[in-house]
Structure 1
Amino acid sequence: MSTPVLPRPPEFSFRRQHREAHTSTEVSSPPTSPHSRTSQSYKSIFSRNENTDDSFKINVLMKLDTIIKNQNEQLQIIKNQAIQKGALEDAEIEDVVPQPLESKEELYSLDEKLKDAAFRKNMIKYFSIIGGSTVKDTVRILLRKIGSNKLGSEFSMYGRKGKDSFKKRHMCRVIIRTCLVVHQKAKEKQIEKEIGTILKYAPHRPGGSKWKDVTTDTSTSPTHDDEEEEAF
């Protein structure tokens, strides 16, 4: 009897089996979800707009500051107009200094009248009509009205360098009170400083005690800015 022939078993390749197993176990990257893409997009937008937002906020704050400043100026104008209206309605108020005073004797005579509280109050009301846009402006206008540069040359704020003290005069107090009425946020020290500065430059202005000297010696003459800013 002949021996039956068995079928040949299939060839086994360890290398091919290993490669197939490795391929089947590979984990592919999961697809990006629409929600994830949307989140990344928002983050990108916010990141790009951070600088723009900061710039926008700064511009808004600057505009608000400008608006507030303009409103304060308008309120000051309205307040000054109200002061002027109230002053003009008072029949007792009159211009007691129609012309700038030229001598200390004239100022001392007016100063005696200012000892009377009612007279002093009326002068403050009248000077409030004149007013000014700033403390410095108001002080300059009032000093120009009260006296000439010749008179201003005789005074300093605290009586230094052999000059009379303007601070001791009732007129000085009238100017300070007027500035406090017209400029409610002003401080007395600030007003006194402006008075002292203007008196300091009075001798160098036309009619002042040193005016003739500076016209012949330009090295000691005040600059154009000094003339504009510190004129008596």
Structure 2
Amino acid sequence: MFHIVEFLKTQEVEVVPALWVADEVCQWPAQYKADELVKAIRSQEKPGHSWDAFHVRILYTAALLHKLLTNQEIILEQLKVIQMNLQKTGQPAQGQDPLKGEVLPLKDATALLALEKRLREEEDLKNKMITTLSVIGGVDIKDSVWRIMKHCFANPLAKQLNWRGINGKTAFHGLHMKDVITGTVRNNRLTATATDQEVECYIKRWLHHVSDRDGGRREREERRRTLQKNCVQDHNDTAGPSQEEH
């Protein structure tokens, strides 16, 4: 049995074995490294005497929640349902959208500039966004960065971005959204020690591969096959009839 819990002090959301939680207090191995923590959760390790205790609120419970550790998309969907239910009952929901509308994913440069303006002018917006986006999760730095980027940037806009802004594209390294992404990654207990360089590396890779998403790779393969087929047909046409036809 596993719980999705909210740590009340930090408002972070985590998946933990049910045996770690008793009387709304969660035992947590803060001294564990990321890979040790993942292993402890998956194996439902028994809490040790040196573990820290944190007050939590149980958001969801299920017998098969261990699958969520390798499928963070399900975590996100479950949390969305939880948030909707909490909002319907009038309770404050973790990760409530501070943007007040369907702003994400950003679809074009106009939407990006508008959000960047708000991030410059609204002092607490960055931290609110980090808290909201933290429900996306991720089991390692790459997984976390790529899930957050996918949530924040639609492909048409992502194709207009690169890290340094070369070839007429917008420079990602100068955006306030870069700090939002980095802060969100570090707000995940599994990736809390991520360095700027590590986050930068995976942002660059995500932007580099943007054309392969939404069928981009498949479309290129289809074009390649069509071109190859046409070249073969042209060769046959220029070669003339075979001797059997004479």
Please give the range of the TM-score, normalised by the shorter of the 2 chains: 0.5 to 0.7
The 5-angstrom pairing of residues 53-92 of structure 1 reads 71-73=36-38
Name the structure 2 match of 1:195: 203
Q: 1:214 to 1:158 in 2, by over 3 A?
A: farther
Shift of 1:205: 2.1
Give the Cα separation in 2 of the matches to 1:83 and 1:110: 32
- C-alpha contact (below 8 Å) 2:182/2:196 kept by paired residues: yes
The one-letter amino acid of 2:224's match is D
> Given the alignment of the two structures, is residue 108 of structure 1 paired with residue 116 of structure 2, yes or no?
no
**Which among 94, 97, 103 is matched to residue 97 of structure 2?**
94
Question: SS of 1:141's equivalent?
Answer: helix
Shift of 1:160: 2.3
Q: TM-score, normalised by structure 1?
A: 0.53
The 5-angstrom pairing of residues 159-198 of structure 1 reads 159-182=165-188, 183-198=191-206
Q: Which runs of 5+ in 2 are unaligned?
A: 1-31, 45-51, 60-82, 84-91, 227-246
- C-alpha contact (below 8 Å) 2:148/2:181 kept by paired residues: yes
The 5-angstrom pairing of residues 8-23 of structure 1 reads none
Structure richer in helix, relative to its length: 1
Name the structure 2 match of 1:34: none
Structure richer in strand, relative to its length: 2
Which of these two proteins has the greater Rg computed from alpha carbons?
1
1:58-110 CA distance string (max 9 Å, x none): xxxxxxxxx9876422678999x96997xx75678316374422211111111
- C-alpha contact (below 8 Å) 2:95/2:133 kept by paired residues: no
Give the Cα separation in 2 of the matches to 1:68 and 1:124: 22
Note the aligned Cα RMSD (angstroms). Answer: 3.9
Give the Cα separation in 2 of the matches to 1:82 and 1:132: 20
Q: Percent identity over the alignment?
A: 21
